[in-house]
Amino acid sequence: MNPRTRFKACALVAVLGLSLFVAPSAGSATSDISSAIPKTHHLYVIGDSLTFGSSLFAQFPQKLKATNLWKTTVVDAVVGRSAMTGARIIQRKKLKVNTAILVALGTNDMMSRREKWYPARLIDEVMKAANGRPVLWLNLEYSTTRRDWRARGVRFNRQLQLATERWPNLTIADWDKFFTPNRKNRFPGDGVHLNVSAYRLRSTFMLRSLRTWATALYNMTTTTTTTTTLAPPSPEATPDSEPNQESQQEPEPQAESLE
C-alpha cells in the first residue's frame, strides 16, 4: 500500500494521543531527548497530514510522550486541516491554562489563498484562539518544483516572524531553515507531502524543538518572559486532555487540500 492510500485509509484514526503510546526500545532516538526538568505544562499538538505522516511513519506521539517533558501530551493531526480550522478547534477546546500549543498548520491555507494580506490574518486568528497560552509554530516548506506555493510559503514565514512582535507568547520552530531538501524525492509527487525518511526527520526536528521550548518555558516560570526563535537542530543529529472531536477529515473551502 503506497503512502497516499495509507493516509486516506487511516484518516479516521488520525488523532494520536496518549492511548497509543508504545514504550521505545533502549536504543530509541528519543533516549537522548528525555529531560530531568520539572514538568510545567500540558502539551497540545495540532497539525495536518504532515504531522499525521510523522505520526504514522515515525511514531511521533509515542516518542513525544517518552521524552517525559510534559504533564500530558495530545497529538491531534487530521488530513486536509487548515490553520483557520485549527483556530476554531483551539478556541472551542477546554484547554488548561498551563497548556502549551504546538501549531503545525498553514500549508493547506497557502496552497489555496493567494492574497498577500491573508497570512497575517490567519496567524492572528490562531494566536487569538490560543488566548495567551505559549505557542510554538512550525513554519512552512514546499518543494522547489512548486514555485507558486513556495513563494506563498516564504510570504507566510515572513509574516510569522513579524507576528512575534505582536504576540510575545509566539515562538517559531524554523523547519524551513532546517529542511532544505537536496533531492526531489524528499517531496514525492505533489511537492508537499514527504517520503518516509523525511517524515522521520520532521519527527526528530519537532522532538528536539519541543525539548528546547520546554526548557525555555520552565525558565520563564522563574525569570522574565522573552520571545525567541528556536535555532534548528543540527541536520547531522540522528533522527489529560479531552478526547478530540475532529477525527474525520475537515475539508475547508479551498482550491486544493492535503488529501
Q: What's the pLDDT tens digit per position in 18-39?
A: 223 222 333 334 434 444 567 8
Please tell me which of 11-20, 204-213, 223-232 the model is most confident about, judged by mean pLDDT: 204-213
Q: How far is the C-alpha of 151 from the C-alpha of 153, rounded, in Å?
A: 5
Q: How confident is the prediction for the chain on average, in pLDDT? A: 75
Nearest to 77 by CA among 99, 107, 97: 107
Interhelix angle 83-92/118-130, nearest 10 degrees: 20
What is the pLDDT at residue 149? 77
Residue 245 — pLDDT band, cuts 50, 70, 90? very low
- Report which DSSP code applies to 13: G
Written as one letter, the residue type at 140 is L
Tell me the C-alpha to C-alpha distance, in Å, between residue 164 and each of 158, 170, 227, 244, 246: 11, 6, 7, 28, 29
Residue 42 — pLDDT band, cuts 50, 70, 90? very high
Q: Stretch 241-251: mean pLDDT, rounded?
A: 39
pTM above 0.85, yes or no: no
Q: How far is the C-alpha of 197 from the C-alpha of 54, rounded, in Å?
A: 10
Give the ranges where 136-195 is alpha helix by DSSP (H): 147-166, 175-178
Q: Stretch 77-89: mean pLDDT, rounded?
A: 95
Q: Stretch 174-182: mean pLDDT, rounded?
A: 79
- Report which DSSP code applies to 144: T
Written as one letter, the residue type at 160 is L
Name the residue with cell 519527527: 203
Residue 243 — pLDDT band, cuts 50, 70, 90? very low
Percent pLDDT > 70 in the chain is 64
Residue 256 CB neighbours (<10 A): 12
What is the pLDDT at residue 134? 97
Is residue 176 a contact partner of residue 157, using CB atoms and an 8 Å limit?
yes
What is the pLDDT at residue 20? 30
Q: Stretch 223-246: mean pLDDT, rounded?
A: 42
Composition of the chain by helix, strand, coil, percent to 5: 45, 10, 45
99-133 pLDDT, tens digit each: 999 999 988 888 888 899 999 999 999 999 999 99
Q: How far is the C-alpha of 210 from the C-alpha of 236, rounded, in Å?
A: 18
Is residue 201 a contact partner of residue 60, using CB atoms and an 8 Å limit?
no
Dihedral, CA of residue 33, residue 36, residue 37 and residue 43, to nearest 10: 50
What is the pLDDT at residue 21? 28
In this predicted structure, the answer to whether residue 16 has a pLDDT above a threshold of 80 is no
Question: Mean pLDDT lowest for which of 2-11, 113-122, 131-140?
Answer: 2-11
